[in-house]
């Protein structure tokens, strides 16, 4: 069969053009698919609840050499209070805008304390009482600062006498600073001082029951091996407004309950004679064990891993996101590779946002 050369060239050119068109179409379709996929994956969750805080001008402008600060304070009849904070921390904002806006609190602090603010992620150099240099973040890590605000109080000899882990409402905060200002640590334990100075504001004459609390008798012995589940112990008391807030606003949340379902959970009246076998295998009553654990506030949630080792505790005022983060931190055993709870919280928030889940740290 005879084939015209000119027709052959035209056919070849046509096939080349068709191939080019198909190739371009394929690239365009691939790019469109990629864009659609990217658009789908870019539907991120939102982050809200962070607050900017301006710290009071009457905080001390320190050279951060604590031996000098403590000596200067002692000469003026004062003590040193360190305030660890971080950017965007809503609890720090609450400390400043609620607690430090009340005249009786501010007057007492200005009369009795030199207050020094430290950024728990900061790079300024601090020098400890013993003369050891750290950056702010190294110092915070050495002191195991896990929450902001964390307040640390020193006596005249430079010894730490009280550490407040997290935000406390004004009445409880005032009790704490009065304890330090009046040198009460020489007379009574902080735990007993708090008990004697806690006003009764609640009509609840019984502890608030929850379906996830295990029933007595409580055998928490972990000396014979590892438990299948971590342990959450709720230390509460009767006529406790903060306990009511915890139950009515935090523990009611379905996601919180889902996390608690992964724990063995018990509730103890921190002042009661409820018998139990503690984690160490010793027989105690609830108030003895609470004293052994240095539980000063109701509510306090102490979280133990499956071996019975305390990992972390919530003894301040927390909302839903941070309470859930505490539970997840222990259940997931993230503490084994991330010793900083704050870094874990940040990573957890980022992960939820990437999954398209909104994060409100102030809900």
What is the chain's mean pLDDT, rounded? 90
Domain-by-domain residue ranges, the chain? Answer: 66-196, 218-360
Write down the pLDDT at residue 328.
98
Burial 139-156 (b: 16+ CB within 10 A, else e): bbeebebbbbbbbbbbbe
Alpha carbon distance 100, 98 (integer Å) = 6
Cis peptide before 149 (omega within 30 of 0): yes
Over residues 151-207, the pLDDT tens digits come to 999 999 999 999 999 999 999 999 999 999 999 999 999 999 999 998 765 556 799
- pLDDT given for residue 204 in this prediction: 61
* 3 state SS of 85: strand
Q: Please state which of the four CATH numbers 3.90.105.10, 3.40.30.10, 3.20.20.70, 1.10.10.60 is assigned to the domain occupying 218-360.
A: 3.40.30.10
Domain pair 66-196 / 218-360, same fold: yes
Percent of the chain with pLDDT over 90: 83
Rounded percentage of the chain residues whose pLDDT exceeds 70 = 87
The distance of Cα 173 from the centroid of its chain, to the nearest Å, equals 18
Asked if 349 and 47 count as a contact pair (C-beta separation under 8 A), the reply is yes
| pLDDT at residue 306 tops 50 | yes
Instruction: Give the pLDDT band of residue 31 (cuts 50, 70, 90).
Output: very low
At residue 20 the predicted structure's pLDDT band, cuts being 50, 70 and 90, is very low
Segment 216-219 long-range contacts (CB within 8 Å, at least 24 positions apart): 216/274, 216/275, 216/276, 217/275, 217/276, 218/266, 218/268, 218/274, 218/276, 218/277, 219/276, 219/277
How confident is the model over 238-246, as a mean pLDDT?
92
Identify the burial level of 12 via C-beta atoms within 10 angstroms of its C-beta, where 0-12 means exposed, 13-18 middle and 19 or more buried.
exposed
The reported pLDDT for the residue numbered 205 is 79
Question: Is residue 42 very low, low, confident or very high in pLDDT (cuts 50, 70, 90)?
Answer: low
For residue range 51-62, what is the model confidence (pLDDT) as tens digits?
999 999 999 999
Which residues 6+ apart lie within 8 Å of 83 measured at CB?
Answer: 55, 59, 95, 115, 116, 117, 118, 149, 150, 151
Closest CA to 357 of 45, 43, 41: 45
For residues 124-133, average pLDDT: 97
pLDDT of 198: 81
- Domain at 66-196, CATH homologous superfamily: Glutaredoxin (3.40.30.10)
pLDDT score, position 360: 97
Q: Taking a C-beta distance cutoff of 8 angstroms, is the pair 138, 64 a contact?
A: no
Reported pTM: 0.86
Per-residue pLDDT band at 2 (split at 50, 70, 90): very low
Q: What is the mean pLDDT of residues 279-308?
A: 97
pLDDT for the residue 185: 97
Confidence of residue 24 (pLDDT cuts 50, 70, 90): very low
């Amino acid at each position: 069969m005879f084939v015209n050369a000119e027709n052959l060239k035209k056919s070849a050119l046509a096939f080349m053009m068709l191939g080019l068109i198909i190739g371009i179409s394929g690239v365009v379709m691939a790019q469109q698919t990629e864009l659609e996929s990217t658009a789908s994956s870019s539907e991120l969750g939102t982050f809200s609840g962070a607050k900017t805080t301006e710290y009071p001008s009457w905080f001390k402008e320190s050279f951060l050499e604590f031996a000098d600060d403590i000596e200067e304070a002692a000469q003026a009849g004062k003590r040193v209070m360190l305030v660890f904070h971080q950017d965007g921390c809503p609890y720090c904002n609450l400390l400043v805008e609620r607690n430090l806006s009340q005249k009786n609190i501010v007057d007492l602090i200005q009369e009795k304390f030199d207050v020094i603010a430290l950024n728990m992620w900061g790079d300024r150099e601090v020098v400890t009482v013993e003369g050891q240099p750290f950056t702010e973040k190294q110092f915070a890590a050495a002191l195991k600062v896990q929450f902001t605000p964390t307040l640390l109080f020193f006596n005249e000899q430079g010894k730490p006498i009280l550490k407040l882990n997290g935000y406390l409402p004004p009445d409880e905060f005032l009790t704490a600073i009065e304890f330090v200002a009046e040198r009460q640590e020489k007379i009574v334990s902080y735990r007993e001082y708090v008990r004697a100075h806690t006003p009764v504001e609640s009509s609840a004459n019984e502890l608030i029951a929850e379906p996830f609390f295990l029933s007595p008798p409580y055998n928490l012995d972990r000396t014979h091996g590892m438990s299948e589940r971590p342990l959450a112990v709720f230390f509460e008391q009767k006529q406790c407004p903060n306990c009511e807030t915890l139950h009515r606003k935090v523990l009611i949340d379905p996601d919180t309950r889902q996390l608690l379902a992964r724990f063995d959970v018990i509730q103890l009246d921190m002042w009661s004679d409820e018998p139990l076998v503690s984690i160490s295998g010793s027989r105690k009553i609830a108030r003895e064990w609470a004293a052994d654990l240095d539980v000063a506030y109701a509510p306090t949630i102490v979280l133990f891993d499956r071996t019975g080792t305390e990992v972390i505790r919530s003894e301040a005022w927390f909302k839903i996101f941070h309470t859930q983060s505490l539970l997840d931190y222990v259940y997931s055993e993230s503490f084994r590779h991330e010793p900083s709870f704050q870094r874990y919280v940040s990573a957890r928030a980022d992960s939820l946002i990437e999954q398209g889940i909104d994060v409100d740290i102030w809900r």
